[in-house]
Amino acid sequence: MSFLLNIIRNFLGYIIVLVDFITRPSKQKRSAQAQQQVEQELQSMALYQFFACPFCIKTRRALHRLNLPMQTRNAKKGSEYRTELAQQGGKSKVPCLRISEDNKDVWMYESSDIIKYLEQRFGTVN
């Protein structure tokens, strides 16, 4: 029974990925210099995620909309990133944004919190 549920979950996940791809929002525009600064700041961040997880897709949509080409790390079972996430972050939960600043790491786990943080830090100021 769990095998069948896993197949259904994966199938629905890939449908969500397809819908996300088709309905992707437009990217935030910045000057070349501003975009270069953003990309420099993103070097200290990584998003741990699953490809077909709805909350991860929600977070990746925000990354796309905010024009944040951030490194993503697939935390699937058996991967080095899943082990890293569990050992260093304390949980094997995704999405998780790892922010490395001032010689310490902050692990942010909730998609809504991650998006709010990214919008405040990198969103357009009106």
Note the pLDDT tens digit of each residue in 20-38. 888 888 999 999 999 999 9
Looking at residue 110, what is its pLDDT? 96
Please state, in angstroms and rounded to a whole number, the distance separating the CA atoms of residues 25 and 2.
35
Note whether residue 19 is domain-resident: no
Whole-number CA gyration radius for the chain? 16
- CATH number for position 58: 3.40.30.10
pLDDT digits (tens, 9 = 90+) for 51-80: 989 999 999 999 999 999 999 999 998 999
* Inside any domain, residue 23: no
Q: Report residue 101: phi and psi, to 5°.
A: -145, 145
Q: How many domains does the chain have?
A: 1
85/13: higher pLDDT: 85
Q: pLDDT tens digits for 82-126?
A: 999 999 999 999 999 999 999 999 999 999 999 999 999 998 754
Residue 111 domain flag: yes
Range of the domain at 46: 42-126
Residue 33, in any domain of the structure: no
Residue ranges of E strands in 1-126: 45-49, 71-74, 96-101, 104-108
DSSP code at position 44: T
Give percent of the chain above pLDDT 90: 71
pLDDT of residue 9: 80
For the record, the structure tokens of 102 come out as: 């001032």
> In the structure encoding, which two tokens stand for residue 33, read together?
């210099």
Q: CA 101 to CA 99: how far, in whole Å?
A: 6
Query: How far, in Å, are 17, 62, 101 from residue 55 at the CA level?
Result: 11, 11, 25
Residue 41: pLDDT over 80: yes
β-bridge partners, 99: 45, 106
Q: What is the pLDDT of residue 125?
A: 56
